[in-house]
Amino acid sequence: SAFIEFENVKKIYQMGEVQIEALAGVNFKIDKGEFVVIAGASGAGKSTILNILGGMDSCTSGNIYVDGSRISEYNAKELTTYRRYDIGFVFQFYNLVQNLTVVENVELATQICKNPLNIDETIAAVGLQDRRGNFPAQLSGGEQQRVAIARALAKNPKLLLCDEPTGALDYKTGKAILKLLQDTCREHHMTVIVITHNLALTPMGDKVIHVRNGVIEKVDINDHPIPVE
Ligand code: ADP
Ligand code: ADP
């Protein structure tokens, strides 16, 4: 069976008297080791899907299965454990600790992990071996995102979730970041899910889930996912 499955997942945000239906019955499956792109316009529901999948938010109804567990049934304590051990997050604006160096940022993330990867090897894998002692402000945007990826990877998560990781970067740098995420997926057989609103980057996904107005509009399968030029 699938590594991840969403079954008629709905999410309603209650804002005072107003209800916003962010997800109106979402269904999809993802296999272990897939490199998945979630695409769609602003407000479509992409972040809501990722936040619920990452245990940062809960759905209003429906079922979500990850690696054989029904995470949509998890209580707060189970969700905390799940976020801590199973999920790596990468965000648009890096969220690095500014007064810690590259190596310290990565180290901090591994302190509460069960099976962290080797910190120096992980930093080398994202190409920052010569930047270990630098602070975030001394790095370019692309380099800061590499630190954020190293920090997420060092936890050795089951699932790497990336919300617009290229959103603050120029096209070329963003493409290199996506390539790094794709390589990581292949090398560690890790399931990686990336949100983007840049349709030019979707040919890199094994699977592209198009979200529109809170539902899945279509799912494209790329038999030969390619880095775009
Ligand atoms: P996307 O990531 O595709 O831009 P989101 O998942 O962030 O879309 O948002 C989907 C819909 O849910 C939007 O209409 C958004 O305004 C609404 N929404 C998202 N988060 C919240 C929230 N915390 N409270 C109320 N409405 C929200
Ligand atoms: P990238 O392709 O990773 O975004 P750039 O071409 O923007 O890298 O930057 C190249 C070099 O310039 C980086 O190694 C970094 O040291 C330096 N640099 C770029 N932007 C900044 C910045 N905002 N603050 C400090 N250094 C920067």
Nearest ligand to the C-alpha atom of residue 214: 1
CA 198 / ligand 2 centre spacing (Å): 22
CA 24 / ligand 1 centre spacing (Å): 12
CA 137 / ligand 2 centre spacing (Å): 10
Taking the model in full, what pTM does it have?
0.89
Point out the ligand 2 atom lying closest to the alpha carbon of residue 141: 4
pLDDT digits (tens, 9 = 90+) for 41-86: 999 999 999 999 999 999 999 999 999 999 999 999 999 999 999 9
128 lines ligand 1 (CB under 6 A): no
pLDDT digits (tens, 9 = 90+) for 79-138: 999 999 999 999 999 999 999 999 999 999 999 888 899 999 999 999 999 999 999 999
Chain-centre distance for alpha carbon 163? 6
Point out the ligand 1 atom lying closest to the alpha carbon of residue 15: 25
ipTM score of complex: 0.75
Tokens, residue 148: 């954020």
